[in-house]
């Protein structure tokens, strides 16, 4: 029988292989769906210290924009 986890947002139980698990620094966050994970991350983002979050968020957004640009260039038709 597979392991079961409990969603920290709604309390729903879900089996291993489903849901969203985030582990970092000895802390494991378990969510039964992407919607619960989104709700948690939104609250975390709103309540965290701006100085910590904004630098990381800007860096990540910049990195993701570069990846999207690279994909766009690869997908373009070549004549």
42, 67: one domain: no
Q: Say whether pLDDT at 74 is over 90.
A: no
Give ∠ CA 27-33-36 in degrees, rounded to 5. 70
Does residue 29 sit in helix, strand or coil? Answer: strand
pLDDT at 39 over 70: yes
Q: How confident is the model at residue 1 (pLDDT cuts 50, 70, 90)?
A: low
For 15, 31, 47, 66, the CA distances from 60, given in Å and listed in that order, are 31, 23, 19, 10
54 and 43 in a single domain? The answer is: no
Q: Model pTM? A: 0.76
d(CA 76, CA 69): 11
* pLDDT above 70 for 18: yes
Domain that holds residue 52: 48-79
Q: Are residues 17 and 33 in the same domain?
A: yes
Closest CA to 38 of 65, 53, 17, 20: 20
Predicted confidence (pLDDT) per residue in 20-38, tens digit = 999 999 999 999 999 999 9
């Amino acid at each position: 029988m597979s392991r079961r986890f409990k969603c920290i947002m709604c309390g729903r139980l879900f089996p291993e292989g489903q849901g969203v698990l985030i582990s970092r620094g000895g802390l494991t966050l378990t969510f039964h769906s992407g919607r619960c994970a989104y709700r948690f991350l939104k609250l975390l983002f709103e309540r965290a210290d701006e100085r910590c979050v904004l630098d990381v968020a800007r860096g990540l957004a910049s990195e993701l924009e570069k990846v999207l640009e690279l994909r766009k260039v690869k997908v373009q038709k070549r004549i």
